[in-house]
Copies of this chain bind each other. A is one copy, B any other.
Amino acid sequence: MEIQPRRPTGRGPAEYFAGDVLIDPVLQSTTSGLAVNEVRFSPGARTAWHAHGKGQTLVVTDGEGRVQTRGEGAVAIRAGDVVLTPADEWHWHGAAPDRYMAHLSITEGGIEWGDQVTDADYGAAG
């Protein structure tokens, strides 16, 4: 058994995120590819469009945010919601324009990144 302190909080890189995003790595398994992160979005902050090779589960732990699947409308998510995104489905997630949002992100595969979510798309969301 090994007890580790939490690793330092990182910032979401501008290449993949817009706005202020803080990322706390919780677990990164080199054997299974399982990755767990706590991610905190300031109001208006969001990921770029992306897809996960084995899907992703988000557990919204605080605040209110938005998620959108490519080709569908954006929807609101709130603390307590669990968001299941299947493998290879393009989507983005982030805070609401006027609300902080935190979620736990659980993924088991690789990630493919695309374009940033435009203000027009984001503003049209929700």
Task: List residues of A whose CB falls within 8 A of some B CB.
Answer: 1-6, 26-27, 29, 32, 34, 36, 54, 57, 59, 67, 69, 72, 75, 77, 80-86, 89, 91, 104, 106, 108
Contact = CB atoms under 8 A, between A and B. Distances in A.
A77 B27 contact: no
A94 B73 CA distance: 44
Given A3-B82, A6-B80, A26-B106, 14 more contacts: A1-B67, A1-B89, A2-B84, A3-B67, A3-B81, A3-B84, A4-B82, A6-B81, A26-B82, A32-B54, A34-B108, A36-B57, A36-B59, A36-B106
Contact of A83 (B1, B29, B32, B108): B1
How many monomers of this protein are in the complex? 2
Contact of A108 (B32, B82, B91, B104): B32
Contacts of A86: 1
Contacts of A67: 1, 3
Contacts of A3: 67, 75, 77, 81-84
